[in-house]
Chain A
Amino acid sequence: MSGLFNGTVASITLRATMGRRRALIFALPSVILILVTLALKAAGSASPNWPSVILGTFGFTVVLPLTALIIGTSVLGAEIDDGSIIHLLATPVRRSSVIVTKFVVAAGLTMLLVAVPMLVAGLIATGGATKLAIGLFVGALAGSVIYNALFVMISAVTTRAIAVGLLYVLFWEGLLGNLVSGARELSIGHYSLGIANSIAHDATLHAGLSLTTAVVMGAIVTVATLTVAARRLAHFSLRGDAL
């Protein structure tokens, strides 16, 4: 993996991603999460389960995937859209290295912009470094990795990455993953919950997967999507003349 990481690609990606205006909205979902947490804490919510609902359900099926979607499609999709990727690809750099590096940057940014705020929200909500707060933090770290692998692949496969990714988040993660128990095995939100619950041991998280299933499935999804992405990038084609 370390041989696949290219520092130059990483630094260009980081600067190009954070330099876009879109970068401003990266932090928006997490800001909302923290504000909601603060508001509920101040209001003294009636339900004792609210930290699990807000951070687990809202956090893992809305905040985390949405942020990962924006970041994961920015690191590669935006460059494919505007054509600047050509300057990267017209060099002997390995295509798998481009993919892995962009994925690492995206996962790192998502950890910083979601997992860390989620830890802060968890500390606020549960009143300290509780098992739930730590569990949610670790789950969010894992989710940052798996979601971004998927979104980097979607960016390499389609030019409508944001639309496809949004449909996936809304329908697959948001609806099916929560309503149909069989879809849990194919839901990144549930991998994250499963990992979070292995630390938190909290029934209110409604985690449906064991730690082993979550880790194994998450690893398979990550490796498989990145492999597909690298393969697609190796066959990257420019459109020719307008016909």
Chain B
Amino acid sequence: MSTIELTGVSHWYGNVVAVNDVTMTIGPGVTGLLGPNGAGKSTILHMISGFLEPSRGTLTVGGAPSWHNPGIYRTLGLVPERDSVYAVLTGLEFVRATAKLHKLADADGAVGRAIAMVDMAAAADRRISTYSKGMRQRIKVAAALVHDPQVLLLDEPFNGMDPRQRLHMMDLLDKLGAEGRTILFSSHILEEVERLSGTIQVVVAGRLAASGDFRAIRRLMTSRPHVFMVRSSDDRLLGATLIGRPAVTGVELTAKGLQVRASDYGAFCREVAVLSREHGIRLLELLPADESLESVFSYLLAS
């Protein structure tokens, strides 16, 4: 009833392949769809939510194809990424309108429940245009939940939220997942989802690269080595000094400077400054070489 199933799904825009032969099954509970920007997360979510036709492959939600099938929205709720809601309406009017569009028998009851679930009762009578980013996100979730869907899709739900709002949202998603709903959300920031339990699907360059348990990924994240490029007045001396420190696991002299691998980001950054001053070395440049999301994800994939 609430399983999302992708079999060999691809999507391309002209010559550009955005999603390449993705096969996955997403069942009840919370699932994170993670990957760097442009990896194809949104394309996958748009296809699941029926707003993009797969170029190839089959995609079903609860056994029914979602493309060109508005009936799917009886069991599916969507929280789109874009922050555009009917800003002239109040939160309450927006959720109530959604309930009416679903032709719910007890619209008022459903509206009250949905608004309470996202903790927006106090602000429900205010116009959405006066809401903060986090409040807009929550009222969008309320609208997506008003018909009590078995499947809830959220595109970058933590974008622009402050840490408190983020925790609140994570708790809500965990709760909805524990109730047996299928919750799928996308995110490009691994740290954002640290508190969530459940599974993740990692998408890199349009392909499904890995899937697994949040906790395992989190362990890898904290213990992963960091690579820095350092240029200084005396690279050889600096390298010799650095290799003596426990936070440093490797040093290499390259044409562009010193490549340093550190196991502890914070400790290395403190020590490199202290050591270079002690030895009279002038630091010219210190760059984290692999902090791009792509490299983080590719590290995770390799492990």
User: Using a CB–CB distance below 8 Å, which chain A residues touch chain B?
Assistant: 6-9, 11-12, 15-16, 19, 82-84, 86-95, 234-238, 240-243
**B51–A238 touching, CB < 8 Å:** yes
Q: Which residues of B contact A95 (CB under 8 A)?
A: 70
**B38–A241 touching, CB < 8 Å:** yes
Whether, in the assembled complex, B42 has its beta carbon less than 8 Å from a beta carbon of chain A, the answer is yes
Decide: A92 near B70, CB < 8 A? Known: A12-B89, A238-B52. Answer: yes
Ordered by A's residue number, 13 sampled pairs between the chains whose C-beta atoms are within 8 Å are A15-B86, A16-B86, A83-B80, A83-B82, A87-B80, A91-B102, A92-B101, A92-B103, A236-B51, A240-B18, A241-B40, A241-B41, A243-B13
- Among A82, A90, A236, max chain B CB count under 10 A is at A90
User: Using a CB–CB distance below 8 Å, which chain B residues touch chain A?
Assistant: 11, 13, 16, 18-19, 37-43, 46, 49, 51-53, 68, 70-71, 73-74, 76-78, 80, 82, 84-89, 94, 97-98, 100-103, 140, 143-144
In angstroms, Cα B74 to Cα A92, docked, is 6
Chain A residue, CB-CB nearest to B82? A83
Decide: A90 near B49, CB < 8 A? Known: A83-B82, A241-B41. Answer: yes
**A240–B77 touching, CB < 8 Å:** no
**A242–B37 touching, CB < 8 Å:** yes
**B73–A92 touching, CB < 8 Å:** yes
Of the candidates B40, B53, B88, B143, the one whose C-beta lies within 8 Å of that of A16 is B88
In angstroms, Cα B143 to Cα A241, docked, is 24
Q: Which residues of A contact B100 (CB under 8 A)?
A: 7-8
**A237–B16 touching, CB < 8 Å:** no
In angstroms, Cα B84 to Cα A90, docked, is 14
Of the candidates B46, B71, B73, B101, the one whose C-beta lies within 8 Å of that of A237 is B46
Q: How far is the CB of B75 from chain A (nearest CB, A)?
A: 10
Q: How far is the CB of B186 from chain A (nearest CB, A)?
A: 10
Q: Which residues of B contact A92 (CB under 8 A)?
A: 70-71, 73-74, 101-103
Decide: A82 near B84, CB < 8 A? Known: A9-B101, A241-B18, A241-B40. Answer: yes
Chain B residue, CB-CB nearest to A13? B86
In angstroms, Cα B52 to Cα A243, docked, is 16
Q: Which residues of B contact A9 (CB under 8 A)?
A: 101
**A87–B86 touching, CB < 8 Å:** yes
In angstroms, Cα B40 to Cα A6, docked, is 35
In angstroms, Cα B93 to Cα A11, docked, is 11
Q: How far is the CB of A54 from chain B (nearest CB, A)?
A: 36
Chain B residue, CB-CB nearest to A11? B97
Q: How far is the CB of B302 from chain A (nearest CB, A)?
A: 23
- Among A11, A16, A94, A238, max chain B CB count under 10 A is at A238
Q: Which residues of B contact A19 (CB under 8 A)?
A: 87-88
Of the candidates A84, A88, A89, the one whose C-beta lies within 8 Å of that of B51 is A89
Chain B residue, CB-CB nearest to A9? B101
In angstroms, Cα B101 to Cα A94, docked, is 10
Q: Which residues of A contact B19 (CB under 8 A)?
A: 240
Q: How far is the CB of B274 from chain A (nearest CB, A)?
A: 42
Decide: A237 near B53, CB < 8 A? Known: A86-B82, A87-B143, A95-B70. Answer: yes
- Among A86, A93, A241, max chain B CB count under 10 A is at A241
Chain B residue, CB-CB nearest to A19? B88
Chain A residue, CB-CB nearest to B47? A240
Q: Which residues of A contact B43 (CB under 8 A)?
A: 240-241
Q: How far is the CB of A183 from chain B (nearest CB, A)?
A: 36
In angstroms, Cα B100 to Cα A243, docked, is 37
Decide: A86 near B70, CB < 8 A? Known: A15-B86, A16-B88, A241-B40. Answer: no
Q: How far is the CB of B110 from chain A (nearest CB, A)?
A: 13
Q: Which residues of A contact B73 (CB under 8 A)?
A: 90-92
Q: Which residues of B contact A91 (CB under 8 A)?
A: 70, 73, 98, 101-102
**A240–B53 touching, CB < 8 Å:** no
**B70–A93 touching, CB < 8 Å:** yes
Decide: A87 near B98, CB < 8 A? Known: A12-B89, A19-B88. Answer: yes
Chain B residue, CB-CB nearest to A8? B100
Q: How far is the CB of B14 from chain A (nearest CB, A)?
A: 10
Q: How far is the CB of A235 from chain B (nearest CB, A)?
A: 7
- Among A9, A93, A234, max chain B CB count under 10 A is at A93
In angstroms, Cα B46 to Cα A93, docked, is 18
Beyond A86-B80, A87-B94, A241-B37, 7 additional pairs, beta carbon < 8 A? A90-B76, A90-B77, A91-B102, A237-B52, A238-B42, A238-B52, A240-B52
Q: How far is the CB of B161 from chain A (nearest CB, A)?
A: 19
Q: How far is the CB of A91 from chain B (nearest CB, A)?
A: 4
In angstroms, Cα B100 to Cα A130, docked, is 46
**B68–A235 touching, CB < 8 Å:** yes
